[in-house]
Structure formats: structure tokens, C-alpha cells
Amino acid sequence: MIVAQNLTKNFGKVEALKDISFEIGRGEIVGFLGKNGAGKTTLMRILASYLSPTSGKVLIAGKDIARHSLFARRNIGYLPETPPLYTNMTVREYLKFAARLKDIPPARLRPSVDKVMDDCRLRYVQNRLIANLSKGYKQRIGIAQAIINDPEILILDEPTSGLDPVQIQQVRKLMKDIEYKRTVLLSTHILSEIEQTARRILIVNRGKIIVDQSVKGLLGQYPGLTLEDIFLELNPPQAERADD
């Protein structure tokens, strides 16, 4: 479903990604782990075709996203690291705007918006201005716009940051519901979350993929250790550098 080939990304002198390649099949749920500044957000931005890589390419369903950008964007729901919200709109206005930009036909606008508001528990605030909502609600609106058109692929950058435990459970349930039907890539700093939702782990460190394994396989490789121990082992704190 998603193939990344030799991706590199430089921001001036900073090498954010260094020759990253991987393949993700249909229906997989993949968790991206890595320290702050490892390159997770940059990688997701490239996959969502917001940034173009310095070199290398990405194929979505066999098509190069550099040339079939609209096709790729139609099939990807993307939640950026900071939820991209127009604070002067109400929740309903915003979701409607998102639905229209995502090619949902006019007749289905209302049902789609209603459905996604139910899924993300936004009904109660539907007519409030986004500017006045709490962080968790903003995050939920971000998730709602990503899933509103039922895309084949979901790319979620720290989807559960700022959510309360009930909502985190809800997001996990959502992942479970769409498992095997949709391809999901998520990044997070909550390791237990990866253990519960993802089937496969990619650990990124300084722009390189250092682990690409199933969760079970990784845990089996280091018997007796938790995911957190393994993560700390692979990303020793003394390796912290100024450019991280």
C-alpha cells in the first residue's frame, strides 16, 4: 500500500531523514517511535505529500505521489502534529469545510459530518467556536477531519496527545474497528499505546530507521524486557546531541 524508497530530507544543513526505505501493506497498523527530533513528523509530512523529499520517492497503491499527488491526497487522512484548525469557525462549519474539500458529494455532507461528530464525541460542542475549546477537543476535531471521508490510509501524528483517558480508549477502539480494513500509521510517545494498537513498530533515530519489526517479534527478541526498556536500550540518553 505504502512504499518508501530511499527517502532523504535536508533542511539546509540539517539532515532530518537519511535514506529511509520501508513497505507497509494494506490493513497494517504501524507505530512510529523515536525521540524528539528523530524525524517522525518530517517522515509523515512527506508521506502525506505536504513536504517533498530531497531525494527518493513514495508510492501509494503503486503510484508515485510526486506525480499523482491528488490521487494520493484523496486516499490519505492526515492528522498533523498540531491540529490544523480555523479558530474562527464553529466545529460544524469546520468539518463541513473539510468534507467539501475532501470531495464528499453535497448530498452526503450532512450525514458524514454528523457521523464523524458522533464518532469523536463532538456533538455537544458542535456550534461552539473552535478558538474557545480545550486542547483535547481540538485534537478530536483534528482526528475527525482526518477520518471524515473514510480514507484508505490514515496518517496520525501523535493522535492521542492531550486526550483524556476515556478519549484515548476511544481512539484505540477506533483503531481496532478499522484494523485490517484501513492502513494506519501513527506516531506516539506513549509506548503502551503502541503495544495495544500497533502490530508493527518502526523506530526512527536521527533520521534513520533502526528497528522495523512486529511488536511480538521485538518483545520476543529481548525476553523479559518491556517495550520501554527496549526503547531506552536502543536510544541511549547520552547519544543526545545539539542537533537532536
Partner 1 sequence: MIKIFTIVQKELCAYFKSPIACIVLVVTVSVFNIFFYMIIDQNREATLRDVFQVMEFMFVFLVPLFTMRVFAEEKSTGTMEFLMTTPTSNTAIVVGKYLGSFLFFSLIVSTTLVYYLVIEYFGHPDRAATATGILGLWLEGGLFVAVGVLASSWTRSQVIAAISSYAILFSLYFSITFSKYVSAPAQEFLQYFSTMTHAANFSVGVVAPGDVVYYLSGIFCCLFLARISVENRLWR
Interface residues with Mg ion (CB under 5 A)?
40-41, 81
Q: Which does 90 bind (CB under 5 to 8 A by kind): ligand ATP, partner 1, Mg ion, none?
A: none
Is residue 58 within 8 Å of residue 3, measured between CB atoms?
yes
67-75, 161-169, 188-196, 227-235 -> range binding partner 1 (CB under 8 A): 67-75
Residue that is written with C-alpha cell 481512539 in the block: 171
36 binding partner (options Mg ion, partner 1, ligand ATP, none; Cβ < 5 to 8 Å by kind): ligand ATP
The sign one gets for the Cα dihedral 181, 187, 188, 189 is positive
What is d(CA 43, CA 51) in angstroms, rounded to the nearest whole number?
A: 9
Residue 11 in contact with partner 1, rule: CB under 8 A: yes
From residue 99 to residue 138, the character string flagging contacts with partner 1 as x (rule: CB under 8 A) and all else as - is -xxxx-----------------------------------
- Residue 152 — φ and ψ, nearest 5°? -65, -35
Hey, what's the cell of 209?
530507521
Residue 49 interacts with partner 1 (CB under 8 A)? Answer: yes
Task: Assess 11 for contact with ligand ATP (CB under 6 A).
Answer: yes
Closest approach of partner 1 to the CB of residue 101, in Å: 4
Q: Are 26 and 199 in contact (CB under 8 A)?
A: no
Q: 46 to 85, contacts with ligand ATP by CB under 6 A?
A: 81
Our finding on whether 140 is near partner 1 (CB under 8 A) is no
Q: How far apart are CA 83 and CA 162, in angstroms?
A: 11
CA distances from 163 to 79, 92, 133, 166, 243 (A): 14, 20, 13, 8, 30
- Asked if residues 14 and 26 have their Cβ atoms less than 8 Å apart, the reply is no
Three-state SS letters, 98-127: HHHHCCCCHHHHHHHHHHHHHHCCCHHHCC
Which of 38, 79, 184, 191 lies at the binding interface for ligand ATP (CB under 6 A)? 38
Distance CA 190, CA 108 (A): 36
In whole angstroms, the minimum distance from the beta carbon of 173 to partner 1 comes to 25
Closest residue by beta carbon to Mg ion: 41
Choose among ligand ATP, Mg ion, partner 1, none what residue 84 binds, the Cβ cut-off being 5 to 8 Å by kind.
Answer: partner 1
Only one residue has cell 483503531, namely 175
Residue ranges that bind ligand ATP, judged by CB under 6 A:
11, 14, 16, 34, 36-42, 81, 243
Positions that interact with partner 1 (CB under 8 A):
11, 45, 48-52, 70, 73-74, 76, 78, 80, 82-89, 93, 97-98, 100-103, 145
